[in-house]
């Protein structure tokens, strides 16, 4: 048993695979498949599943720095990106696209991710930004 590895629960339909694990500051998210009829619908549901997988760690999409996207038709890449851009912002994450023969439950897309938990650094930055040096206002001090 790895006592340094934290998990956010089991992957749906798998009794020995985690949705996401964190080791130190690194976060690994198992591939999340989309639901729905279209690539856009499936991209939205897969992205929401990725978010669900990391929320127990208190993380958000900007903590994920690398995505691997599995598509059953690489021609769906543009449609995928149209929906995906609603979940990411600059500076944008790295992303690889792989065409596969098929995915679980005839899904069109599956997304896995790698992230870095920067929450403690974000907190330190907010504290050090306090103009009055109080360290208790989360950077929102008023003179």
Average pLDDT over residues 46-51: 97
Burial of 35 (0-12, 13-18, 19+ CB in 10 A): middle
**How many other C-beta atoms are found inside a 10 Å radius of the C-beta of residue 39?**
23
Query: Tell me: domain 5-118, CATH 3.40.50.2300, correct?
Result: no
At residue 136 the predicted structure's pLDDT band, cuts being 50, 70 and 90, is: low
Least confidently predicted of 87-91, 97-101, 127-131, 134-138: 134-138
Question: With 70 as the cut, is the pLDDT of residue 135 above it?
Answer: no
Give pLDDT tens digits for 18-42.
999 999 999 999 999 999 999 999 9
- Would you call 2 helix, strand, or coil by DSSP? coil
What residue ranges do the domains of the chain occupy?
Answer: 5-118
- Tell me whether strands 64-71 and 5-7 are parallel, antiparallel or unpaired: unpaired
- pLDDT band of residue 143 (cuts 50, 70, 90) is very low
């Amino acid at each position: 048993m790895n006592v340094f590895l934290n998990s956010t629960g089991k992957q749906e339909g798998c009794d020995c695979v985690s949705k996401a694990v964190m080791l130190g500051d690194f976060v690994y998210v198992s591939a999340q498949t989309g639901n729905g009829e279209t690539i856009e619908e499936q991209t939205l549901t897969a992205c929401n599943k990725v978010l669900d997988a990391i929320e127990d760690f208190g993380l958000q999409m900007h903590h994920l720095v690398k995505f691997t996207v599995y598509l059953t038709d690489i021609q769906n890449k543009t449609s995928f990106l149209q929906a995906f851009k609603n979940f990411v912002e600059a500076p944008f994450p790295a992303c690889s696209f792989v065409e596969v023969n098929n995915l679980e439950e005839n899904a069109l897309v599956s997304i896995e991710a790698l992230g870095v938990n920067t929450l403690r650094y974000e907190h330190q930055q907010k504290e050090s930004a306090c103009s009055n040096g109080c360290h208790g206002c989360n950077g929102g001090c008023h003179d």
